[in-house]
Amino acid sequence: MLQQFSLEGKIALVTGGTYGIGMAMAKALGKAGATIIFNARSKDKVEEAEKEYRAEGFNAYGYQCDVTKESEVQALVADVASKHGDIDILVNNAGIIKRIPVLEMSVEEFEQVIDIDLVGPFIVSKAVAPGMIKKGAGKIINICSMMSELGRETVSAYAAAKGGLKMLTKNLACEWAEHNIQVNGIGPGYIATPQTAPLRTEGHPFNNFIISKTPAARWGNPEDLEGPVVFLASKASDFVNGHILYVDGGILAYIGKQPK
């Protein structure tokens, strides 16, 4: 049964896998046996992350690449194919968020979020699909969000992008299922990372808000995403397609506590 989850011999590309949940998921795929390919726009971030992966014993290769530039993505995919083989697993993780009220947000700021969070996954998925079709197998995992389902103040561009990514996931699953390519998503809840550390201090209003809205009564940890990403990347999920797996501690199932 455990062999169903093995990723030995697989090539996995995790976009934006230089820190946070992207790196955590990439390491999980590496622990399951995959060769890790990752990218970032910053050369320094790529080099720093590659050192960390190598120091922990992972077979990892970093590329400086902007996921919104189709020519750069195609060059990355071609180089990986020539050196390691066609990509078997793609995790579309790269993304940004801008917390700006709609009336204060410029069109350029809105478009930047859409380009990275939605157009980027379209570009990268399109680039890796021919290799997967040639192999007759492939796994694409799009990192969605609570905002794929819910609204909240100041995140209109992010919610629009992540809602669109949910539907892109379903449509790619429909188009490529005949080639034995499964396209699914993961929707992380609120995860404890260095980036969220300032919000997680005891007594902080946002920390109290998240704890009160989560039935598990805690923030998620990057490790909580390891099992889900390995499952969706492995043979164990070969008949799971077009699904968004929310790893949220129960937020989407919860209406909230009744006031006393």
Residue 202: pLDDT band with limits 50, 70, 90: confident
Say if residue 29's pLDDT is above 80: yes
Q: What is the secondary structure of 122-186 as a DSSP string?
A: HHHHHHHHHHHHHHT-EEEEEE--GGGT---TT-HHHHHHHHHHHHHHHHHHHHHGGGTEEEEEE
What is the pLDDT at residue 67? 98
CA distance 247 to 228: 8
**Residue 213: how many other CB atoms lie within 10 Å:** 19
138, part of any domain: yes
Residues classed as catalytic: 158
**Distances from the Cα of 153 to the Cα of 63, 100, 102, 111, 143, angstroms:** 35, 8, 9, 18, 21
pTM: 0.97
Q: So what's the pLDDT on residue 258?
A: 77
Examine the pLDDT at 9 and tell me if it is beyond 80: yes
Instruction: Look at residue 178 and tell me whether its pLDDT is greater than 90.
Output: yes
Is residue 215 in a domain?
no
Identify whether 15 is part of a domain: yes
* pLDDT at residue 66 is higher than 90: yes
Contacts for 220 with CB less than 8 Å, ≥ 6 apart: 188, 189, 190, 191, 192, 247, 248, 249
Q: To which H or E segment does residue 91 belong? A: strand 89-92
Residue 99 falls inside a structural domain: yes
Which domain covers residue 175, as residue numbers? 2-192+225-250
Which ranges of 196-246 does DSSP label H, i.e. alpha helix? Answer: 205-213, 226-233
Angle of CA points 19, 24, 27, to nearest 5° = 110
Q: Which amino acid is at 46?
A: V
pLDDT grade, residue 80 (50/70/90)?
Answer: very high
Is the pLDDT at 196 greater than 90, yes or no?
no
pLDDT at residue 237 is higher than 80: yes
Q: 218 by DSSP, 3-state: which?
A: coil
- Residue 200 domain-assigned? no
> How many domains does the chain fold into?
1
* Residue 157 forms part of a structural domain: yes
CATH number where 169 lies: 3.40.50.720
Residue 35 inside a domain? The answer is yes
Average predicted confidence (pLDDT) for the chain: 97
Q: Is residue 209 part of a domain?
A: no
* Backbone angles phi and psi of 142, in degrees to 5: -95, 130
pLDDT confidence of 259, banded at 50, 70, 90? confident
Residue 81, classified by CB atoms within 10 Å of its CB into exposed (0-12), middle (13-18) or buried (19+), is middle
Give the pLDDT of residue 111: 98
Q: What is the mean pLDDT of residues 12-29?
A: 97
